[in-house]
Structures are given as structure tokens and as C-alpha cells.
Structure 1
Amino acid sequence: MPQTGRGQDAQRLTDRSRASFGDPDADRPPLREIDKERFMSTAEQFHVSKVTRSYWRVTFDNGPVNLMDPDTIEQLGELIGRIEDEPELTVVVFRSDKPGYFIAHWDFLSDSARVAGMPPGPTGLHPYLDNFVRLSKLPVATISEIRGRTRGAGSEFVLSTDIRFASESAVLGQFEVGVGSVPGGGAMSRLGRLVGRGRALEILLGGDDMPAGLAAEYGYVNRVVPDAEIEAFTDAFARRIAGFDRVAVAGIKGLVDAATLPANEEFAPGLQAYFATAGRPENRPFVQLLFDNGLQQPDGIETDLGKAIGTLRQNFERP
């Protein structure tokens, strides 16, 4: 019988996917943008708003839950190159307009062969890692304005930015262990430095969702801001940085980077472990079960993925 809807998603997974990446300023008037453009390729994922010459806002847009995919890797690399080449830029805010989602995670149905065949980036690393390393070392301040859920690849993205402000509705997590894979985008190295070894292992081995308040307590994010205020709060902070001398901002950031960021060599083993573990045949039936329950859809299992994976795993019979 032909499959429809979520059943087709599960079948596509079987046929195609083996490597899934896996305030006081509340009264401020609406943002005045001196220039606005869309940074687009085929999927039109990044919308760049030049608020001022020294301040950009980037809104990510890819499907109903903001999935990362091969196009994201290519577009993000191009965007980072533009940021690197912009002499007056001092601060960039990354955000989402998707209700309930910042970046859900990697797209399980994406073309794994295309990802595996990508040439190295400027750092010599696979472009998925290269993007995050270059993002973390930009000579500008980068801020994640996190509303809603950001897990897996989305978590790895925000961990690569300098500052993470989370709304009350934010949820973060690294759920990869629940689908039988090792996180590939540097979560082990970055979380270990941010929250400490024990808490990093709690996040990575538990694979559960972490609400914003607990994430702030652990150091996963900087602070929690009421949902109605986070845009104005982040904008005010970004404008403050944008008003400072770029040489001073870049100098401070570079010295903090040198003292705190993982060495580039730490990242490749994680991605190698990801490629070796993601998409193994013994885990496909469980991932198909997730699709049957609404994986990658705005409603259903995505709303409470960490809890759902734990519950389903305990009751799942391996083939």
C-alpha cells in the first residue's frame, strides 16, 4: 500500500538518509534598518538585515521548524565570509521568526552523500565544522537570540556564537544519543568548557530537553529574558556593542577566544564519530518510529522531543 504523510517521511529516511546530523528598553520603537536585503541561494535560508553599518541581524528560515541541511552549510559558509570581509561590522544577532523553534536540529531526510562529499573549508575542516570554528572566531560579537527549541545541530550552532540570550520559552538539548549517534558539531568540546565535565555529560548522555532557566543555571546560555522583551533586550545590547570601537571589540574578543575556545584539532574526531554512528541499520526502525509520531513537524513529537525519545527508547524492542 502506498505510504502517505509521515509514513512517506519514514520511507524516505530508509531510502535516502544514512548521515543525519544528526526591559527597560521595552518601549524602544521598531527597529530602523538603513539597508535590508535577503541573503539567498536555492533555499533562501538567511535573511540579513543591516540595521546599521556596524550591526546586522540575521534571521534563519528553513521550513516549519527551521531544520539545518546541506544548503545551510553552504549558505552559512558564504555568510560567514561576508561577515569576515565587512570592515565596519561589529556585532551580528542570529534569530528566528518561527513560532516555537530557533533551529530544531539537522534534517534527517537530507542528502547524506552531498554532505560527505563536501570539500574542506578554509580551516581545513569539513565545512560543517569549519563554519562553527569560523563563526566562533569572527572579529565581531555574535549573539544568539533564542526563542523556542534548538537541539542537536541547532544547539551546536548557538554554542559557536559568543553570547546566548534565551527567552522563557527556549529549550536546548543534544538528543543524538537517543537516535544512536555521537554529536558531530563540537558539542563535547564546547559544552565541556562552558558547563564543566559532569554537566556536559549529563546533557550529552541524558539527551533530554533543558528548559531555559536550567540552561542559564548551568551556563549553557547567558541569561533568560521574558519572551515579550527578548527582541528589545537583544537589540539594545547589540546597539551598545555597535557603538563601540571595532578595533577594541575585536581585540577583546580575540584574547578571550585564545583563552577559552577549543583548539581546532579537537573537532574532527567528533564528526568522524558522528559519521561512524549515524544512520546505522539497527537504529533506523526507531528513527522511523519518531517520524510516525511527527518528527520534523511543528506539532507532535518535536514539541517535547527529549522526553519522548527517552520514553520511546525504554519501550522500544530492537530488531
Structure 2
Amino acid sequence: MTPLGDYSTIGMHRIPRDGEIVVTQPAFSTLHVTRERGVVKVVLDNPPVNVLSLPMMAELMTLLTSLRDDAAARVVVFESADPEFFIAHVDMTLVDDENAVADPTAGAPEGLNVFQALGEAVRTLPQVTIVKLAGLARGGGAEFVAAADMNFAAIGRAGLGQMEALGGIVPGGGGTQYLLSRTGRNRALEIILGADLFDAETAERYGWINRALPAGEIDAFVDRIARNIADLPDGTIAAVKHALPPQDLAAGMRREHEAWANQFANAPAEKLLRAALAAGAQTPDGERRLEDLLRSIAA
């Protein structure tokens, strides 16, 4: 991020380093960003169900890149403008985007596809990253949650799922590696091959998330922990993250991408995705019952 006196630049705006500010249009169309005393809050807003579209991915990468060199930002909190959906999953309409399907590694760092690159940009950010999960996150959305340093989920409202196997493919945005690291191989296999939606309490028990909290308490809890971390003495966050570096997942990411690419080429994934869209996927009603919808198509 480029310093301009007492200001820093995010998107197309000059933003005061102290006090709360809002990054408004035209900087981002799917993100609302505020900053207060070192805590950057990123609200995801891509109606109707917050799919991880190419514009949202591009805007997230722009924001994460700008934050990487911003010493005034200490904590980044991600949440959703939609109480039902955090990130539904990667946009299924990308199946008809020749550029997205033909070369999913285009523009990504060496050894990563574009979906993995987003997760790794979150996972390796020097700031502390926190996801406040109050709705559903599947596929690429669940991968984004697992990439963050910490994640807290609302009991009775949050849900996590890797449903890719229902389309004959595997998670391709880091999900296999994040789950292996967080939950262990046996539970990762259950999550990926079982392809069910997991509630907050089960996800906590499996180690997928940090903690499941009552829905009425999650806002105050996340605000408090973010504020407490941001207020730590200078250098403390960097020292702790240096002592606890993110695991090197390079080899695993290569295996995951190879498995994803091979299955996508050989499995009836494109046909299933189009059928899912026709059956109501990426609408609020269809997303509430997505696993059942996908199973009915594959039957």
C-alpha cells in the first residue's frame, strides 16, 4: 500500500489511517471496507447469494495485495452482508467462461491456480485474518474460511461444506490441504467424500473452525478479539506469526490442482453444473438445499 502522508491507498480512495472510514464505489463493487484503529473490516456483498465470482476474486486479490505492505493494518475481519450466505461457492457460471476453464492457472503465482492463489493470499497475509461466519460457506467459500488465521461461526446459522465430489471433482482452491492440516486425514476424507453440510458445532469439534458461538454473541466476540489483537504492542503480531509460520503446502497444492484438473476434464462436471443452475443453484432457495439439489441431479 502506498503511503501518502497520513493516508494510505485502497482501491481508488485515499483513506485516513486513524478513525473509521468506508471504501465506497467505484473502488469495489462486491466489497465494503472499513478501517478503525488498525482493524480492517471487509464485508462481502455479491447478491443474491455471495457467489465467488471472477469480479469478487479480482477485488479480493486487489485488496489483499494492497494490505500486504500496510503496516497500519493489523487485523483483517471478513464477514458477509447477507445473513444467510458468507460465500456460497465459486460461481458455477464460470463453466461457460472459456478463459476460466481453459487455463485456470492464468495470472496466478507459479504452482497455483487462481482459486488456490486467493486462499494463499489470505493464508499468508502478514496481518491476522479472522472470518466471522454467520451463514453458509461451501466449496470455494469453505476454502476461504479455512485459509484465514482464525474463524468463528454462529451456532444455528453457520454451515460449512465441500460439495465438489457430488460433481465428480475434488476441491481445487486449497480445500484438500487446508482440511488435511486442520482436521486430519480421516475427517478430511469424510468431509470431502461425504459431501454434507456441517453445522458450526461439528465443525468446531473437527477442528475446521476455532470456535462455535451463540449467534447473538458472535459480533461482540469477534469485535473484542480483533480489537485486543490490534491493540497489542508494536511488533508483537509479526513476532508471533514469525514463530508460527503457515505450513508449506506447495507440493500438496500441486497434487490438488492435478487431481482437480484431471477430474474436471474426465468427469461430467460441466453437464452437472449447468443442470444445477437450471435446477435453482445460485438462488437463495436452491442454495439452502444445495447438497440435496446436486444429489437429485446426479441420481
1:68 corresponds to which letter in structure 2?
A: L
> Displacement of 1:236 after TM fit?
0.9
Q: Structure 1, residues 282-319: CA drift from partner, whole Å, max 9, x if none? A: 344443442333110011x3102224434553xx2xxx
Q: 2:136 aligns with which of 149, 152, 169?
A: 149
The CA distance in 2 between the partners of 1:241 and 1:221, in whole Å, is: 18
The CA distance in 2 between the partners of 1:311 and 1:127, in whole Å, is: 30
TM-score when scaled to structure 2? 0.85
Residue in structure 2 matched with residue 232 of structure 1 by the alignment: 220
The answer as to whether partners of 1:77 and 1:127 remain within 8 angstroms in 2 is no
Classify 1:138/1:286 alpha carbon distance in 2 versus 1 (closer, same or farther; 3 Å): closer
The CA distance in 1 between the partners of 2:271 and 2:26, in whole Å, is: 36
1:302 has 2:287 as partner: yes
Residue in structure 1 matched with residue 10 of structure 2 by the alignment: none
SS at 2:23 equivalent: strand
Between the aligned residues of both structures, percent identity stands at 31
TM-score when scaled to structure 1? 0.80
Classify 1:138/1:39 alpha carbon distance in 2 versus 1 (closer, same or farther; 3 Å): farther
> Displacement of 1:263 after TM fit?
2.5
Classify 1:311/1:113 alpha carbon distance in 2 versus 1 (closer, same or farther; 3 Å): closer
Equivalences for 1:1-319 in 2 at 5 Å?
A: 34-38=20-24, 44-52=29-37, 54-110=38-94, 112-115=97-100, 116=103, 119-122=106-109, 125-168=112-155, 169-258=157-246, 261-278=247-264, 282-299=268-285, 301-310=286-295, 312-313=297-298, 316=299
Q: Which is further off, 115-124 or 287-296?
A: 115-124
> Displacement of 1:190 after TM fit?
1.1
The CA distance in 2 between the partners of 1:278 and 1:181, in whole Å, is: 6
Q: Which runs of 5+ in 1 are unaligned?
A: 1-31
Q: Structure 1, residues 22-46: CA drift from partner, whole Å, max 9, x if none? A: xxxxxxxxxx9522113755x7112
Q: Which is further off, 288-297 or 103-112?
A: 288-297
Q: Structure 1, residues 270-289: CA drift from partner, whole Å, max 9, x if none? A: 22332332375734444344
Classify 1:162/1:281 alpha carbon distance in 2 versus 1 (closer, same or farther; 3 Å): closer
Task: Provide the aligned length of Structure 1 versus Structure 2.
Answer: 278
> Displacement of 1:117 after TM fit?
6.3
SS at 1:183 equivalent: coil
The CA distance in 2 between the partners of 1:117 and 1:307, in whole Å, is: 28
2:112 corresponds to which letter in structure 1?
A: L
Q: Which is further off, 57-66 or 242-251?
A: 242-251
Q: Which has the higher strand share?
A: 2
Classify 1:114/1:72 alpha carbon distance in 2 versus 1 (closer, same or farther; 3 Å): farther
The answer as to whether partners of 1:59 and 1:94 remain within 8 angstroms in 2 is yes
Classify 1:285/1:37 alpha carbon distance in 2 versus 1 (closer, same or farther; 3 Å): closer
Classify 1:196/1:103 alpha carbon distance in 2 versus 1 (closer, same or farther; 3 Å): same
SS at 1:205 equivalent: helix
Classify 1:210/1:281 alpha carbon distance in 2 versus 1 (closer, same or farther; 3 Å): closer
Classify 1:44/1:262 alpha carbon distance in 2 versus 1 (closer, same or farther; 3 Å): same
> Displacement of 1:180 after TM fit?
1.3
The CA distance in 2 between the partners of 1:118 and 1:287, in whole Å, is: 21
Residue in structure 1 matched with residue 11 of structure 2 by the alignment: none
The answer as to whether partners of 1:60 and 1:94 remain within 8 angstroms in 2 is yes
